[in-house]
Amino acid sequence: MKIIIVGCGKVGSTLAEHLNQEGHDITIIDRHQEKLKFLSEHIDVLGVEGNGASVSTQREAGVKDADILIATTNSDELNLLCCLIAKKAGNCQTIARIRDPEYFNEMRYIRDELNLSMVINPEQAAAAEVARIIKFPSATKVDTFARGRVELIKLTVPEGSKLDGLRLHDMDSKLGCRVLICTVERGDELLIPHGDFTILAGDAVSFIAPHSVASAFFKASGTKISNAVRSIMLIGGGKMSYYIAKMLEETKISVKIIEQDFEKCQSLSEMLPHAVIINGDGTDKQILDEEGISVVDAVGNFTGIDEENILLSLYEKSISKAKLLTKINRITFEETIAGLDIGSIINPNSITSDHIVRFVRALNNSRGSSNVETLYKIAKGRAEALEFRVRDDSKVVGRSLRELNLKPDIIIACIVKGNKAIIPDGTSVIEKGDFVVIVSGRLGLNDLEDILA
């Protein structure tokens, strides 16, 4: 695909590198000749100097034939403007990076009204990643459908989990919640399970569920209790800490934030009534000990300085067994940092670029096949999860699933009606305008009707 990236900062250049490796044609727009030159000498991309929001620059970069424009400059407003203009000057999908929480809270409106394909907030994405690590410690992979309303989660079933030895028919009664298991990888084998299938420890299980159900499922299936995080201390009260605290509000995890700046503490406390906000220097050993650094289950070192975060993590490692999260902004010394035993490395920029790459991949996979909205390859490409939008003249409309004669190896994993995602059973009916997520062991489905035998 032809992709234009506006702004070659950390996210822009990481994106360019990854997308280039995946075989896309990348053109980068930036104001700074020097940066462009450096980048286009290291990566096989075309650089165009100029203001990304100007039509003539975009035309020079070939917006007319472009498939996607990704705006990752420092300014939210500029990013939005770039996307708006690209939408008019060419006819491409647009992705904008929006940082300001004020805009981000109105994200849905902005996205729908400005016709953006994707809006991403690095801090929020990183926070979601942290929340996922804390909430679903055993999930290995998460993809999203229906604009983030439904998640495709893969997890490896650990020894001693409630899932070990569970028959799928009994899931509802034993766990009190139900998700649809789409594929199971057992050794080298890929299985599309039926009701009488029994899960064993060591299976890599992929399932599709709305977010709330997924977390309920994780809770109910209860991997080792001792693993569960009940309290977390966040050092540094930046945007990321705010988002994490916000996300963890509904859970029973208690959050404590240490922040140096008094005014910031005040506003955090106003926005996060459930969290404990401590005004103090997070790098002060005494304050950390006083606040019980040695007894919390998890510590997030999210100050603005990489070196501080690393040092803090090393210190915490030496005094406690808490799960450690370390924010690193610069990824230049990735290998060295990975070699240090400091838990999970959180890099907002690379998380952002991962999200965008994943989106582009899904878009690329679904191109050409007219009705597919999103497509993920699962289980090393041996199965596909596809999202379809239902047209009114489709043969599957208006009949309950029980009445439909489906091909074997096909599962209707989820139906999204408006804002609500449901896990279907035999009585569910597909209606016009719904999004339907299908998991299939046979590759190359092009239309929803292809699922009928």
Partner 1 sequence: MNRKMVAFFVGRVLRIEAALMLLPTLVSVIYLESEWIYLAAAVAISFLVGLLLSFRRPKNVSFYTREGITAVALSWILMSIFGSIPLWHAVGHIGFTDALFETISGFTTTGASILTEVESLPKGVLFWRSFTHWVGGMGILVFVLALLPGASGENIYLMKAESPGPSVGKLVPRVKSTAKILYLIYIAITITEMVVLALTGMPVFDAAVITFGTVGTGGFAVTNNGCAAYTALQQGIITFFMIVCGANFNVYFLIVAKKIKDAVKSEEVIAYLSIYATAVVLVAINIRHMFPTIGEVIHHSLFNVASVMTTTGFATADFDRWPNFSRTMLLLVMFIGGCAGSTAGGIKVSRIVIGFKTIKKEFEHLVHPRSVRILKFENKPIEHAVLRGVNVYFLTYFTIFALSVLLVAFDGKDFTSTVTAVIATFNNIGPGLKMVGPTGNYSQFSAFAKYVLMFDMLAGRLELFPMLLIFMPTTWRRQR
Q: Give the strand pairing for 372-378 and 298-301.
A: unpaired
The residue from 9, 20, 276, 429 that contacts partner 1 (CB under 8 A) is 20
Q: Which stretch binds partner 1 (CB under 8 A): 26-34, 154-162, 243-251, 345-353?
A: 26-34
Q: At 80, which helix (H) or strand (E)? A: helix 76-89
Q: Which stretch binds partner 1 (CB under 8 A): 22-30, 144-152, 222-230, 272-280?
A: 22-30
Strands lying side by side in the sheet with 93-97: 46-49, 25-30, 2-6, 68-71, 93-97, 118-120
Name every residue whose Cβ is closer than 8 Å to that of residue 263 and which is 6 or more positions away in sequence: none
Cβ 336 to partner 1, closest distance in Å? 18
Cβ 49 to partner 1, closest distance in Å? 8
Does residue 198 interact with partner 1 by CB under 8 A?
no
Residues linked to residue 154 through DSSP beta bridges, in sequence order? 141, 206
Cβ-based neighbour number of residue 290 at 10 Å: 11
The greatest distance separating any two alpha carbons of the chain, rounded to the nearest whole angstrom, comes to 69
Do the Cβ atoms of 185 and 204 come closer than 8 Å? yes
d(CA 236, CA 192): 45
Q: Helix (H, G, I), strand (E, B), or coil: what is residue 318? A: helix
Name every residue whose Cβ is closer than 8 Å to that of residue 418 and which is 6 or more positions away in sequence: none
Do the Cβ atoms of 63 and 86 come closer than 8 Å? yes
Closer to partner 1 by CB, 6 or 439: give it: 6
Does residue 77 interact with partner 1 by CB under 8 A?
no
Residues linked to residue 386 through DSSP beta bridges, in sequence order? 375, 438
d(CA 298, CA 137): 12
Closer to partner 1 by CB, 92 or 180: give it: 92
Closer to partner 1 by CB, 59 or 274: give it: 59
Does residue 251 interact with partner 1 by CB under 8 A?
no
d(CA 178, CA 196): 15
Closer to partner 1 by CB, 65 or 284: give it: 65
Cβ 359 to partner 1, closest distance in Å? 20
d(CA 288, CA 20): 44
Does residue 15 interact with partner 1 by CB under 8 A?
no
Amino acid making up residue 32: H
Closest CA to 22 of 360, 378, 375: 360
Does residue 27 interact with partner 1 by CB under 8 A?
yes
Cβ 377 to partner 1, closest distance in Å? 22
Does residue 2 interact with partner 1 by CB under 8 A?
yes
The token pair that represents 261 in the structure block: 């700046």
Closer to partner 1 by CB, 46 or 337: give it: 46
Does residue 364 interact with partner 1 by CB under 8 A?
no
Degrees (nearest 5) of the Cα angle 431, 433, 438? Answer: 75
Does residue 26 interact with partner 1 by CB under 8 A?
yes
Closer to partner 1 by CB, 46 or 191: give it: 46
Does residue 25 interact with partner 1 by CB under 8 A?
yes
Closer to partner 1 by CB, 44 or 431: give it: 44
Closer to partner 1 by CB, 42 or 285: give it: 42
Binding-site size, partner 1 (CB under 8 A): 15
Does residue 70 interact with partner 1 by CB under 8 A?
no
Does residue 425 interact with partner 1 by CB under 8 A?
no
Name every residue whose Cβ is closer than 8 Å to that of residue 365 and which is 6 or more positions away in sequence: 372, 374, 375, 376, 377
Cβ 16 to partner 1, closest distance in Å? 10
Do the Cβ atoms of 90 and 65 come closer than 8 Å? yes
Q: Which stretch binds partner 1 (CB under 8 A): 20-28, 70-78, 305-313, 317-325?
A: 20-28
Closer to partner 1 by CB, 62 or 101: give it: 62
Does residue 31 interact with partner 1 by CB under 8 A?
no
- Which string of x and - marks every residue 38-67 that binds partner 1 (by CB under 8 A)? --xxxxxxx---------------------
Closer to partner 1 by CB, 41 or 172: give it: 41
d(CA 60, CA 129): 37
Cβ 358 to partner 1, closest distance in Å? 21
The token pair that represents 163 in the structure block: 């899932």
Closest CA to 180 of 150, 156, 157: 150
Cβ 298 to partner 1, closest distance in Å? 39
Catalog residues that contact partner 1 under the rule CB under 8 A.
2, 20-21, 25-27, 33, 37, 40-46
